[in-house]
Amino acid sequence: MNNAPFIIIGLGNPGAEYSQTRHNAGFWFVDLLAGAGSSFTVQKKLHALQYRATIAGTDCLLLKPQTFMNLSGQSVRAVVDWYKLSAEDTASRVLVVHDELDLPPGTIRYKQSGGHGGNNGVRDIVRHLGSGNFLRLRVGVGHPGQAHQVSNYLTSGRPSAEQQQAIANALLKARDTIPLVLKGELPRAMKELHTSSDS
């Protein structure tokens, strides 16, 4: 493994009009990790806004791709190439945070690897990397009930105050487990997060 930072990529759409929409749950999490008042800088070569942070003694790169959700793979491919990450590195040191329709607001789950689960940002990342072998943090935002409502639900509608609070609480719980993930203790992080988010 090289000396690359641990990379945490929050998915979302750039622009103020999207900042409070459900599709931006990944952005919300990296903003939370960066801390209030932190300034992300433009990193054109990575097609993203970036913030360098030390979390639990680990050098971390927090990214918010600026390509729009459906093209998130461009940014992830660029950062993997920039740091010359091997497939093994990518599987253990790249965490993608995204909204999840299949989980209710307030539920949040780690996932080791797998398919895209219908999330277009994850779909594009899998396409660009040629593999689904990277860490994920799935932030539940609920489902509108019918497939034709999904796009508007994610990119235009905002969570209710109650839903927003549930999501915010879940993000805080996930933040508390990040040190475990950074140490390579994903099973323990899963156990702590999944137990607390069910309670």
Is 143 annotated in the active site? no
pLDDT at 62 over 80: yes
Rounded mean pLDDT, 7-34: 96
Q: Is 1 part of any domain?
A: no
What CA–CA distance (Å, rounded) separates 153 from 155? 6
pLDDT at 197 over 90: no
Q: Is 87 part of any domain?
A: yes
Helix axes 72-82, 120-129, angle to 10 degrees: 40
Neighbouring CB atoms inside 10 A of 21's CB total 21
Q: Is 130 part of any domain?
A: yes
Percentage of the residues of the chain whose pLDDT score is greater than 70: 97
Per-residue pLDDT at 116: 78
Residue 199, C-beta contacts closer than 8 angstroms, at least 6 positions apart:
none
Per-residue pLDDT at 18: 95
Q: Is 104 part of any domain?
A: yes
Task: Determine phi and psi for 63, rounding to 5 degrees.
Answer: -125, 145
Per-residue pLDDT at 149: 93
Q: Are 7 and 63 in contact (CB under 8 A)?
A: yes
**Residue range(s) defining the domain that contains residue 32:** 6-198
What's the whole-model pTM score? 0.95
Q: Kindly report, residue by residue over 106-137, the tens digit of the pLDDT.
A: 999 999 987 777 788 999 999 999 999 999 99
139's tokens: 């932030």
The DSSP call for residue 110 is E
Q: How many structural domains are present in the chain? A: 1
What CA–CA distance (Å, rounded) separates 146 from 108? 22
Per-residue pLDDT at 90: 95
CATH code, domain with 130 = 3.40.50.1470
Q: Kindly report, residue by residue over 138-185, the tens digit of the pLDDT.
A: 999 999 989 999 999 999 989 999 999 999 999 999 999 999 999 999
